[in-house]
C-alpha cells in the first residue's frame, strides 16, 4: 500500500468515527462552505497536492462517506493547464479506486469563480447493511 492509499484509508476511518456530517443533497453542494466547515474542525487535509475533506452522509438510504477533493485551476487557460487538471483528476480517481475498490458515486464540477475543480466521491459503509 502506498503512502497515499494509507493516508486516504486513515482519513476515511477517522471520518467514520467523527461527527463530520453532511445532510444536504450530493448533487447540489456548496463546496466553499463545506471546505470551510472542515477547516474549522481540523478536518481539512492535503493529499496529492489537493485539498481533501470527508463527511459522513446518507446515500440511497444507507450510511456512507462523502470524499471531496479540490483541484486548483491554473489562471492561464492554455491546453497544458487543462491537461494538468485532467491528469490530477485521474490521479484522484485511480487512488480512490485502488484504495476502496468500488465507489458508489463519482462526479466532478468546475467552479470557475472558485478556480477549482471539485471531485465528489461517495463510498457506502458496509457496516450499515
Compute the chain's Rg from CA coordinates.
Answer: 14
Closest to 65 measured CA to CA, from 30, 28, 116, 100 = 100
* Number of Cβ atoms within 10 Å of the Cβ of 85: 18
- At residue 40's C-alpha, the angle toward residues 106 and 127, to 5°, is 45
Q: What is the pLDDT of residue 113?
A: 87
Enclosing H/E stretch for 67: strand 62-72
pLDDT in 10s for each residue of the chain, 129 residues: 689 999 999 999 999 999 999 999 998 999 999 999 999 999 999 999 999 999 999 999 999 999 999 999 875 555 555 668 889 999 999 999 999 989 999 999 999 888 899 999 999 997 544
How many angstroms from the chain centroid is the CA of residue 125?
A: 16
- Cα separation of the two ends of the chain: 27
β-partners of residue 47 are 50
User: Rounded CA gap, 44 and 35, in Å?
Assistant: 7
Amino acid at each position: 500500500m502506498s503512502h497515499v492509499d494509507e493516508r486516504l484509508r486513515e482519513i476515511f476511518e477517522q471520518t467514520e468515527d467523527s461527527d463530520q456530517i453532511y445532510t444536504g443533497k450530493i448533487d447540489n453542494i456548496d463546496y466553499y462552505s463545506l471546505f470551510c466547515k472542515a477547516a474549522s474542525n481540523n478536518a481539512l487535509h492535503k493529499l496529492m497536492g489537493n485539498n481533501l475533506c470527508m463527511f459522513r452522509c446518507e446515500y440511497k438510504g444507507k450510511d456512507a462517506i462523502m470524499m471531496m477533493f479540490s483541484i486548483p485551476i491554473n489562471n492561464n487557460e492554455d491546453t497544458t493547464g487543462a491537461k494538468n487538471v485532467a491528469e490530477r483528476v485521474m490521479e484522484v480517481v485511480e487512488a480512490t479506486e485502488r484504495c476502496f475498490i468500488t465507489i458508489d458515486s463519482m462526479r466532478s464540477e468546475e467552479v470557475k469563480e472558485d478556480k477549482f475543480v471539485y471531485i465528489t466521491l461517495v463510498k457506502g459503509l458496509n457496516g450499515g447493511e
